[in-house]
A and B are shown apart, each in its own frame.
Chain A
């Protein structure tokens, strides 16, 4: 695969925390390529470094060592200002705890990144209502986050992540605070994004979320230990799973 076809590419990525004896390698020489349109899940026990990987990929933290490219552009050597601009334009973040601005309505939350990226109020507003409709919340545009359920808040957060039409959406435990029904709503949106060709990297410990991805990477002690292609491989058929047709 050449460099330009990968939306995200990491080479021998290292992140250490702490100093001296207590120095910990949270991410230990990780290599990764995520091609355009792929939905990748990263799974592993808590503390394995999976969230750190996500933060590195999105430019929220800087690697201690290694190289990192987003859309063919090296980002680990960028200035703070250039890095912040890259984050705004190219990356959409979804967090476990939603991180919505509580004083702003759903629509205003979704407009915010577009306004920060220099779009006009009108453009940002139009984009926000389109995105809220896409996540099934057209009727909740004027609601404050406190007036929404957890699942609805996370859908607003996903709409916000899409505001600047990012190259990649990075999601950190997006269903960690949600019940089953709300989880399925979020997974339906991810399916929809995937079929629209959106590149997605999702860190999760929820097997349902991982199973929605095309590809699953397993992480232990800062390292990738397994890389599995899940898409397209038919099993024995659904009936076999409940003992029918055997």
Chain B
């Protein structure tokens, strides 16, 4: 979030409310749960870190004393570094994988049942995102983001299918042996 806000300031110095509007336009329905004050909390943190400066600009008569935020040289460097970064959030599959193994080893729970419960949860999420995607007019930035979330959930669902197959096989082997 901090990096994204910084990068938005690279175009030009901006008011907090303007940044928030730009964020919401890009995120569409995915940004609805965003706390209205979050952008200001982020900007304050960035200011303390010396990455942005805040200037008071002559406001409009109905909105006096608006704060305008601008990048400092350090902020500009950080934006450049962020854009060049190739890091990617890691899906947390190991935890679930270990959960299945531990549940089976200790006979605490049926791994196949755990997979089924997880699958139901992901399908409910997929349903929610899918409905937002269907309601989104074609060609918006938010639609593209929603498609990304849909694709990720589908990949996770396919992995769960693989988990189900593997643990069913393990089950059969125990029964046969």
Contacts and interface: CB of A to CB of B under 8 A. Distances in A.
Majority-rule SS of B interface residues:
helix
Contacts of B105: none
A230 B27 CA distance: 25
Contacts, number: 79
Interface stretch (A29-37, A140-148, A183-191): A183-191
Nearest to A239: B33
Contact of B124 (A188, A230, A243, A245): A230
Contact of B134 (A187, A226, A245): A187
Interface stretch (B47-55, B59-67, B150-158): B150-158
A234 B127 CA distance: 10
B68 interface: no
Contacts of B125: 235, 241
A226 B116 contact: yes
A211 B154 CA distance: 10
A207 interface: yes
A231 B30 CA distance: 19
Interface string A205-238: 0011011100010100000001010110111011
Contacts of A191: 131, 134
B153 A207 contact: yes
A207 B29 contact: no
B30 A211 contact: no
B134 A188 contact: yes
B34 interface: yes
B3 interface: no
Contacts of B145: 242
B147 A239 contact: no
Contacts of A231: 127
Contact of B30 (A187, A207, A234, A238): A238
A211 B134 contact: no
B73 interface: no
A244 interface: yes
B126 interface: yes
Interface string B100-133: 0000000000000000100011011111111111
A180 interface: yes
A240 interface: yes
Contacts of B158: 207
B123 A184 contact: no
A239 B32 contact: yes
Nearest to A228: B120
A208 B150 contact: yes
B31 interface: yes
Determine which residue in A237, A238, A240 has the highest number of CB atoms from chain B within 10 A of its CB, and name it. Answer: A238
A188 B135 CA distance: 9
Contact of B123 (A181, A210, A242): A210
Nearest to B143: A184
21 contacts: A208-B150, A210-B123, A211-B130, A212-B127, A218-B116, A226-B116, A230-B123, A231-B127, A234-B128, A235-B124, A235-B125, A235-B128, A237-B32, A239-B30, A239-B34, A241-B30, A241-B129, A242-B30, A243-B89, A244-B33, A245-B34
Given A184-B133, A211-B127, A233-B124, 13 more contacts: A191-B131, A191-B134, A207-B126, A207-B154, A212-B131, A216-B123, A235-B121, A238-B129, A239-B33, A240-B33, A241-B149, A242-B27, A244-B31
Interface of B: 1, 27, 29-35, 89, 116, 120-121, 123-134, 138, 145, 147, 149-150, 153-154, 157-158, 161
